[in-house]
Structure 1
Amino acid sequence: MRLLTFPPPFTYAVVRLDPVTMVKDLGLDDPATLAEVKGMSPRKYLVYIEWPAELPMPNSRWCKYDINPIATTLRPADEDSGVTPDMVLPIHPNTKHAHGPEPVRPTPSFPFSNCYHWYFNTLRARIRVHKAGYNESSAIFQSSLAVNRRFEDAYHRSIALLEKRGEMSTGNDSATSSIPTSGLDLDSSEVHMLSELYRRLAVKHGLLTSMSPEDSYYDSDDDGGSDDLFGWDPDPATALLPLLDAWIDIADHISEDEIPSPVDFDSE
């Protein structure tokens, strides 16, 4: 049995958001804020873990990954991205997609019979160090190349739909360098003040990288001109990424009738 500090890439995992730690890390631990956050009830979600966005180190607190939440239904249409409900990929033993691509077949066998990958459904998150380690023998692997190849038709169809409408989606990063403010009635100066406050908190509490502040090489005078080959450069958006606990022995942590929609994950 080999125990890993972080989950291996190209595997499925059950994850759960930790909003309390996210706000505490930023120093937002006043009673009112904590009471509101503790009132949340984060659910467990099934995801596919792609390649890490940084090279994890022994002293890393988390590792950034691109992940794909897994669904049990067809997906909602997204006209702005040229996405239609049938742009899904069954995971064997699920074969319920009469005109879609051939199901992918993870190794070892996938324990659920009702699951799909959704096209254009990637987001970036932080997966925390697991104190007990991740037992590699529990992992269920799936080649990302096989997933991408089966989505080639969806890709070409989405491009054709956008071209037909006379527009191409530029897309947005899953995390930005400013605080999300879509639900707030703020003018531009107030948005700037919130963004600057967040940046100062992230710097103060050492949340620009996965390494703890005493181990980080971050220099506030650095002009950020490196190529960041290992994903270690300080990034003010890091603390905005969802902080997740993860388990790769998926059948022990969720059942197929409990798997929530990726739409719910986005809402959390």
Structure 2
Amino acid sequence: MKRFCPAAFQFAVIRMDPVAMVEHFDDPIATAEAHALVTKKYLVYLDLGVDMPFPTNRWFRYKVRLIGSTLRPADPANGITPDMVIPIYPNTFHPSGRTPIVPETPFPFTNCYFWLGSTVEVRIRHKADMYNDSYAVKLSTMEHVAIELGFSNDFRRLHRFRKSQQAAAAAPSHDPHDMHDAGHVVGPRRQRPIPVPFPQLTSSSQDSCLSGSSNQLQPRSTNNALASSSEDEQRRCDSPHQHTAKYDPEVEAILSMDIFNLAHDDAAEYLLLVNLWFELTEHLAADSIPDPFEFFKERDTIVKYVRPIIALYELPYDLLSFQDHP
């Protein structure tokens, strides 16, 4: 079926498009430099559409899950272990025998996994000839829900890990320097709480602060690419609005969702712009699926290039108009 916007619950291939991110500035130098940036194709799962799609949109915001072809690399600093994955059938291997996710239509690769904490928000470009998902690999609603359920034990483990880290950070000091020369014990030194990074847990919590300017295209180190920001950043995401509501609270909550994209969020321009295809085997083979960490390395390279250009021009950007590109 042909659609002007790709539907969720489907697997796809994406590739970042740095040229499309700067070409509307009509800067030949910036465009030429963008052409020199090398990008790969990545296997993803379309998890959730962020905005209400319109045929006139130049792009569509999506939360996508990057798919790995191996177990997840361990990240002890953030409590991540290799078994925090879910196999995608026909792959059935998991260290603890976790039930695989079974697509409605045959999945062409035998070595793929959903990784915990691999959800990112991107902009998918509009296509002049629309998106044909007739042969796309899809998940049923129940299997989509099973992804979150499959990670539920991992969420609990990470919660316990975070609590233990916080407890260790707040523990009283037994430093020998806390003693008087006379041998009398002085009370423990006051400890400053240490912000503890907390891995992303769900697609709904992942990238929840992306609408804030401080989180748009901010380079992260590769080691922390699949982990969340500090507690301070978490508090900023979770803090209630400080202004007095103009409307009934329920109406205010609905309006704040901006499902029709009427607020014209100019900050969205800083999100990665990608091209998308549903023909998986035409673009990838089982032995050529890139590691999700490579996506974040590539992203950081593009971030360092694109962000200064956008900041230099600081032009108004009409998020609803579009021009078809060849």
Classify the TM-score, shorter chain: 0.7 to 0.9
Q: How far apart are 1:251 and its partner, in Å?
A: 1.9
Query: Structure 1 180/148 Cα, relative in aligned 2: closer, same or farther at 3 Å?
Result: closer
Q: Does 1:29 align with 2:40?
A: no
Q: Secondary structure at the match of 1:148?
A: helix
Query: Structure 1 136/34 Cα, relative in aligned 2: closer, same or farther at 3 Å?
Result: closer
Which stretch of the first structure deviates more once superposed, 143-152 or 225-234?
Answer: 225-234
Q: State the AA in 2 paired with 1:48.
A: Y
Q: Does 1:65 align with 2:95?
A: no
Question: Higher Cα Rg: structure 1 or 2?
Answer: 2
Q: Does 1:228 align with 2:257?
A: yes
1:146 matched to which residue of 2? 146
Query: Structure 1 87/38 Cα, relative in aligned 2: closer, same or farther at 3 Å?
Result: same
Pairing partner for 1:265 from 281, 295, 298 = 295
Q: How far apart are 1:17 and its partner, in Å?
A: 0.7
Q: How far apart are 1:254 and its partner, in Å?
A: 1.4
Distance 2:145 2:89 in 1: 16
Q: How far apart are 1:182 and its partner, in Å?
A: 5.4
Q: How far apart are 1:81 and its partner, in Å?
A: 4.0
Contact 2:17 2:273 (C-alpha < 8 Å) held by counterparts: yes
1:135 matched to which residue of 2? 132
Q: Secondary structure at the match of 1:89?
A: strand
- Decide which structure has greater helix share: 2
Contact 1:65 1:125 (C-alpha < 8 Å) held by counterparts: yes
2:285 matched to which residue of 1? 255
2:88 matched to which residue of 1? 91
Distance 1:80 1:67 in 2: 25
Distance 2:71 2:219 in 1: 27
Contact 2:158 2:199 (C-alpha < 8 Å) held by counterparts: no
Q: State the AA in 1 paired with 2:105.
A: P
Q: How far apart are 1:79 and its partner, in Å?
A: 4.3
Contact 2:13 2:42 (C-alpha < 8 Å) held by counterparts: yes
Distance 1:137 1:69 in 2: 22
Q: Secondary structure at the match of 1:267?
A: helix
Q: State the AA in 2 paired with 1:29.
A: D
Q: State the AA in 1 paired with 2:27.
A: D
Q: State the AA in 2 paired with 1:20.
A: V
Q: Secondary structure at the match of 2:275?
A: strand
Q: Secondary structure at the match of 1:160?
A: helix
Q: In angstroms, what is the RMSD of aligned CA positions?
A: 2.3
Contact 2:217 2:271 (C-alpha < 8 Å) held by counterparts: no
Q: Does 1:9 align with 2:14?
A: no
Percent same amino acid among aligned pairs? 35
Q: How far apart are 1:23 and its partner, in Å?
A: 1.7
Q: Does 1:177 align with 2:213?
A: yes
Distance 1:243 1:76 in 2: 27
Q: Secondary structure at the match of 2:286?
A: coil
Query: Structure 1 182/261 Cα, relative in aligned 2: closer, same or farther at 3 Å?
Result: closer
Report the TM-score when normalising by structure 2: 0.63
Q: Does 1:126 align with 2:123?
A: yes
Aligned length: 224
Q: State the AA in 2 paired with 1:248.
A: F
Contact 1:44 1:254 (C-alpha < 8 Å) held by counterparts: yes
2:268 matched to which residue of 1? 238
Query: Structure 1 65/80 Cα, relative in aligned 2: closer, same or farther at 3 Å?
Result: farther
Contact 1:52 1:64 (C-alpha < 8 Å) held by counterparts: yes
